[in-house]
Structure 1
Amino acid sequence: MNLVLTLTFLIMSLAMVVVFIRLVKGPSLPDRVVALELIASIMVGMIGVHAIYTQSSSFIDVAVVMALTAFLAAIGFARFVEKGGQRDD
């Protein structure tokens, strides 16, 4: 079980690095926002795996709050683009 959790953390960390490169490189604002949303989703997954590892249910609450915050950020970005905000694509 410990090997599986370690491997899961390693794969999620690698995914985080790849997504961070996409966040920095761009090329457009929507690409960067999608990368930021994906980072938030990976973080929620990592918190969930950590909750399984430590057998602590309080981390699940943290993951839910983070997921809701990321969802609200996505809604805010969609409104921003819908109203004709800054675009460089």
Structure 2
Amino acid sequence: MIETILNISLVLFGVAILITFYRIIAGPTFPDRVIAMDVVGVNLISTMAIVSILFQTRAFYDVILVLGILAFISTISFSKFLERGVIIERKRDL
């Protein structure tokens, strides 16, 4: 019973990721695309957690952690780019 529910949730997360990819491609503004990329990251983390439960292993925990960190850093980088126009500011003294 639980395996069936987990398999159905995997399918639903897959559909959610596909719908979000459409938002990334057709998003009217750049912030919409950034938020959609963050949603894809969260859905991938959830999918990896469900796969970890289905396979009854802890091997995917490191992948979940790295994916979460990368999603957070990419969202912060895009937000900084939207706000300032650059990600890394360099002060050049001539």
Gaps of 5+ in 2: 87-94
Report what 1:46 is aligned to: 47
Q: Does 1:63 align with 2:70?
A: no
Larger Rg belongs to: 2
Equivalent pairs counted in the alignment come to: 85
Identical counterparts, % of pairs: 28
Residues 1:17 and 2:21 aligned together: no
Instruction: Give the 3-state SS of the residue equivalent to 1:58 in structure 2.
Output: coil
The structure where helix makes up a greater share of residues is 1
Q: Which runs of 5+ in 1 are unaligned?
A: none
Higher relative contact order (CA 8 A, sep 6+): 1
- What's 1:32 paired with? 33
Using the size of structure 1 for normalisation, the TM-score is 0.90
In the superposition, the TM-score normalised over structure 2's length comes to: 0.85
Offset of residue 79 of structure 1: 1.2
Counterpart of 1:54 in structure 2: which amino acid? F
Instruction: For 1:2 and 1:70, locate their aligned partners in 2 and report how far apart those are by CA, in whole Å.
Output: 28
Q: Which amino acid aligns with 2:47?
A: M
